[in-house]
Chains A and B, each alone.
Chain A
Amino acid sequence: MLKSFRLILFSLLMLSGVTAFAAKSGITIGMQLEPPNLDPTGGAAAAIDEVVYANIFEGLTRFASDGSIQPALAKGWSVENEGKKYVFQLQENVQFHDGTAFTADDVKFSIERAQAEESTNAQKGLFENIAGVEVLDDSTVVVNLTNPDGNLPFNLAWGDAIIVAVESIENAKTAPVGTGPFVFNNWVQGDRINLKRNENYWGEPAKLESVTFKFISEPTAAFAAMMAGDVDAFPVYPAPENLPQLEADPRFSVVLGSTEGETILSINNKSEKLSDRKVRKAIAHAIDRSALIEGAMFGYGTPIGTHFAPHHPAYVDLTANSNYDPELSKSLLKEAGVGNLELSLKLPPPAYARRGGEIIASQLRSVGIETKIENLEWAQWLEQVFKGKDFDLTIVSHTEPMDIGIYVKPDYYFQYENAELQGVMETLKSESDDEKRTELLQQAQNIIANDYVNGFLFQLAKTGVANSKIQGLWENAPTQANDLTAVFWAE
């Protein structure tokens, strides 16, 4: 009786259009945050790139999952004039989704638009060194630089440097038109964004017919959506506490990868009490990284000893430089002559900061440093900490790739200034020899580690969950993106 009742109910549900058992040619990707708009050249929100990067929009170059730089709309390039001139050969027969042709003029337009005075590009600095763009013919474009820069192909791979068309840029915020393997279909604000396969794609076409991004901010709801099969994959899964349970379930696979997020305990180097290197060193030695990673991140994360990604070939492991040593910490504080140190610790919303903050506060307390924790929203954090520099300590993950350059900006929020480091980074700018670049980068890492500029905590892990039949998702996150070109359902 009960069985037949359930059968009836079940068939009713099926009739009403539950499509869970339809053939899988589409995928639903869960994301915690909804992008505010879809123009990666006019906002910093990571969620924008997570939807559009490599799916809708492409740049001259692009990041691959392993972090390497690959050609994209540029077939190849040559460097001339001692590193001050780049000649890009473009892919031919490429069309934007609205049918207009992609040519060298679009490249010139895109770069000049990003550089313009009224530009609202969040990473305008990427284009600072570009002196001018010349169109040689439809498929050849020259980028002239003010100073030689081996990093140009890297800079142009960013989501902020994608190529847009003059015909369609105006509506890019709500109806983006790019050259990528997927075409924007529709956006139900607050709920989901849907993309369809680009049947006229210039490269290898995507395997999936359609992609839906679904926005689920609540970690518990994310778990429920995975378990109920409403979402096929959650590339940046917001609740690490559920990962062991999902891993044990044969329906799902958990994908662990690296990100570019150096999570640091930022120290206001200009604050009276913290301008003393000894005090900063004492703070660094008071932190037990493994307890922090265990407690705040459920074990996911790689300890770092400097501001550099551990998977980068030039990385030096300097964690020993600031190993956990509370006794040393106490004696350093005594030496520095500070007693009853009380510091503000301002925490932005992410779990790494809020949970990590509590743990760090207790670790600091055990060496005699009291902290006053203050929880801030992002908008407040930007205003008070980032802009106002009104803080002693804060925890934040710096997710931009290769961002050690922030240590040479004296007015950056942690306010560090060091002439030696500035010299090293200046030399690096015009150095194109790989071996020498590595050497310089390692020098820079050593300098900031030895100066204990910030408390270097851990590299954020990318913890993704996906249906175990899905293949081809990015394992790592060299930039915040969900490149779905090569994703497919295995039978």
Chain B
Amino acid sequence: MLRYFLLRLGSLIATLVVASLVIFFVLEVVPGDPASYMLGINASEETLQALRQELGLNLSPPLRYLSWISGLVTGDFGTSYTYRTPVAGMISDRLWISLPLAIYALLISIVIAFPAGVFSAARRGSGFDTGIMGATQLGIAIPNFWFAMMLVFFFAIKLHWFSAGGFPGWDQGVLNGLKSLTLPAIALALPQASILARVLRSSLLDVLNEDYLRTARAKGLTRKQAIIRHALRNAMIPVLTIIGLQFSFLLAGAIIIENVFFLPGLGRLVFQSIAQRDLIVVESVLMLLVFAVVMVTFAVDVMYAWVDPRMRGRRK
């Protein structure tokens, strides 16, 4: 077990190192100078040089890579070129929006997808099933930014129940914060819920014909009990994989929704930083996302073992 753990840890670190190299040197070849972006079109070459000096842009790329990476290890993410504040603080501010938003959206998605998936699998071919499948098809097809705008139009402009966007800050009360994340979370959750419901349904249908379910019915369980106790658990593996992927996607991929609701999340930070060539911020956020994805994958692996004891056995 210990050996397995060490191997796993080693590959995790190797992934991170390779990722950091790729991120840094790919961004290195992107054309564009942060100094001239900041000083605009009237600045003289001498002024630009002074700023580059101040930002440490005059060092050679390998040196800058080393100082970046050694900073990361010690928790010092460096200072943003354009904002001139510590990158770590900027990222954690944004995470306090992106992380709750991703969790919120994922919860909504699960709450919608599970009943929908289970019932439509249980009543396969019924009107309910056809209805759900049609609805999920629509949920996947509708672009989520359009859906988001419709939500704003209806709930913010017409009914005034929500504001059109923005985030008041958690210090204004948790309820207020959650309220301002509600429309974005719904907009993000709709396509995810649709995908999840379809995956759950088909994966349940696969196991419903298995022998052990017939056995479960034969020993006297009702259909409902059989599904909940035996089928659902066996159908979880692909569903967990999808949930893991969705969480990583929601954390980093909410950028369009963040723009529609003008939420200061991670996606917008990356987008803005790329435009401003604030590369140190881009690099650090990307690194963080790589880290998050690696960790989520790891967590999903652990969950597999939890739902499926056979996997635990295999690892030893």
Beyond the given pairs A37-B84, A189-B90, 16 more chain A to chain B contacts, judged by CB atoms under 8 angstroms and listed by A's residue number, are A13-B179, A17-B173, A18-B163, A44-B39, A120-B51, A124-B43, A173-B83, A189-B83, A190-B269, A216-B165, A227-B164, A228-B152, A230-B156, A377-B275, A379-B34, A386-B36
Q: Which one of A10, A125, A217 lies within 8 Å of B259 (CB-CB)? A: A217
Q: Taking the complex as formed, is A82 at the interface, i.e. its CB lies under 8 A from any CB of chain B?
A: no
**Complexed CA–CA distance, A13 and B182 (Å):** 13
A225 to B163, CA, bound (A): 8
Is there contact, CB below 8 Å, between A383 and B32?
Answer: yes
Query: What are the residues of chain A within 8 A of B82 when measuring CB–CB?
Result: 36-37, 43
Q: Interface extent on A, as a size class?
A: 35 or more
Decide yes or no whether A272 CB sits under 8 A from chain B: no
Question: Within the complex, what minimum Cβ distance (angstroms) separates A33 from chain B?
Answer: 9
Check if B33 sits within 8 Å of A383, measured CB to CB.
yes
A214 within 8 A of B: yes
A434 within 8 A of B: no
In the complex where A221-B260, A224-B149, A228-B163 touch, is A382 in contact with B157 (Cβ < 8 A)?
no
Q: How far is the CA of A320 from the CA of B261 in the complex (A)?
A: 46
| CB of B94 within 8 Å of the partner chain | yes
Instruction: Please pick, from A45, A120, A121, A230, the residue contacting B163 in the complex, using a CB distance under 8 A.
Output: A230
Q: Is the CB of B31 within 8 A of A123?
A: no
Contact B47 A120 (CB under 8 A): yes
B90 touches A224 (CB 8 A): no
Residue interface mask B153-165, A partner, CB < 8 A = 1: 1001100110111
Least CB distance from A249 to B in Å reads 11
| Inter-chain contact A387/B36, CB cutoff 8 Å | yes
- In the complex, whether B166 has a CB less than 8 A from a CB of chain A is yes
Say whether, besides A37-B82, A224-B153, A225-B165, A44 and B40 are in contact (CB < 8 Å).
yes
Instruction: Tell me how far the C-beta of A469 lies from the nearest C-beta in chain B, rounded to whole angstroms.
Output: 18
Selected from A123, A189, A225, the residue in CB contact (under 8 A) with B166 is A225
* B264, A188: Cβ atoms closer than 8 Å: yes
- Is B276 an interface residue when CB atoms closer than 8 A count as contact? yes
A220 touches B83 (CB 8 A): no
User: In the complex, how many angstroms separate the beta carbon of B116 from the nearest chain A beta carbon?
Assistant: 25
Known contacts A37-B84, A174-B84; is-contact A122 B43 (Cβ 8 Å)? yes
Q: Does A288 make an interface contact (CB < 8 A)?
A: no
Any A CB within 8 A of the CB of B44: yes
Residues of A bordering B, CB below 8 Å = 9-10, 13, 16-18, 20, 34, 36-37, 43-45, 117-125, 173-174, 188-192, 214-218, 220-221, 224-225, 227-230, 377-380, 382-384, 386-387, 400, 413
A380 lies within 8 A of B157 (CB):
no
Min distance, Cβ B272 to any Cβ of chain A, angstroms: 7
CB proximity of A8 to chain B, nearest CB, Å: 12
Determine if B167 is an interface residue (Cβ-Cβ < 8 Å): yes
Q: Given the complex, which residues of A lie within 8 Å of B156, measured CB to CB? A: 224, 227-228, 230
B169 at the interface (CB under 8 A from A): yes
- Interface pairs (21), CB distance under 8 Å: A9-B161, A16-B179, A17-B173, A44-B41, A117-B50, A188-B167, A190-B94, A190-B269, A216-B166, A217-B259, A221-B259, A221-B261, A224-B153, A224-B157, A225-B165, A228-B152, A229-B160, A379-B31, A379-B34, A379-B275, A383-B31
- Do the beta carbons of A382 and B36 come within 8 Å of each other? yes
How distant is the Cα of A192 from the Cα of B161 in the complex, in angstroms?
A: 22
B37 is an interface residue with CB less than 8 A from chain A? yes
Residues of B78-118 contacting chain A, CB below 8 A: 82-85, 90, 93-94
Q: Which of A122, A124, A174, A413 contacts B85 (CB 8 A)?
A: A174
B176 within 8 A of A: yes
Please give the number of chain B residues whose Cβ is less than 8 angstroms from any Cβ of chain A in the complex: 58
Closest Cβ neighbor of A43 among chain B residues: B38
Most chain B CB within a 10 A radius of its CB, from A121, A224, A378: A224
Verify A224–B50 contact, CB threshold 8 A. no
Residue of A nearest to B47 (CB): A124
Q: Which residue of A lies closest to B54 (CB)?
A: A120
Cα distance, A323 to B251, chains bound together (Å): 54
A residues less than 8 Å from B39 (CB atoms): 43-44, 120, 122
**Which interface residue of B36, B94, B278 has the most chain A CB atoms within 10 A?**
B36
In the assembled complex, the CB of B258 is this many whole angstroms from the nearest CB of chain A, namely: 9
| CB within 8 Å: A-B pair count | 169
Which residue of the partner chain, among A119, A214, A379, contacts B277 with CB atoms under 8 Å?
A379
Please, which residues of chain B bring their CB within 8 A of the CB of A124? 43-44, 46-47
Which chain A residues lie closer than 8 Å to B260 at the CB level?
A: 218, 220-221
Q: Which of A34, A188, A224 is close to B165, meaning CB atoms less than 8 Å apart?
A: A224
Residue contact B152 to A224, C-beta cutoff 8 Å? yes
Contact A382–B90 (Cβ < 8 Å): no
C-alpha gap A123/B41 in the complex (Å): 9
Which residues of the other chain, A, contact B173 by a CB distance below 8 angstroms?
Answer: 16-17
B26 at the interface (CB under 8 A from A): no
Contact yes or no, B32 A377, CB < 8 A: yes
Q: What is the bound-complex CA distance between A18 and B159, given in angstroms?
A: 14
Task: Tell me which residues across on chain A come within 8 A of B44, comparing CB atoms.
Answer: 124-125
Contact A218 B84 (CB under 8 A): no
- By the criterion CB–CB under 8 Å, are A224 and B38 in contact? no
> Quick check: B259 and A37 within 8 Å, CB to CB?
no
Q: Which residue of A lies closest to B31 (CB)?
A: A383
CB within 8 A of A16: which of B51, B165, B169, B176? B176
Note all chain A residues with C-beta closer than 8 A to B37. Answer: 378-379, 382
Contact yes or no, A189 B93, CB < 8 A = yes
Q: Tell me which residues across on chain A come within 8 A of B160, comparing CB atoms.
A: 20, 228-229
- Closest A residue by C-beta to B260: A221
* A227 closest partner in B (C-beta): B157
Instruction: Give chain A nearest CB distance to B29 CB in angstroms.
Output: 13
Which residues of chain B are within 8 angstroms of A13 by Cβ–Cβ distance?
Answer: 161, 179
Within 8 A of A (CB), among B259-285: 259-265, 268-269, 272, 275-278
| Chain B nearest Cβ from A171, distance in angstroms | 10
B1 at the interface (CB under 8 A from A): no
A123 to B46, CA, bound (A): 12
Complex Cα gap A400–B40 (Å): 11
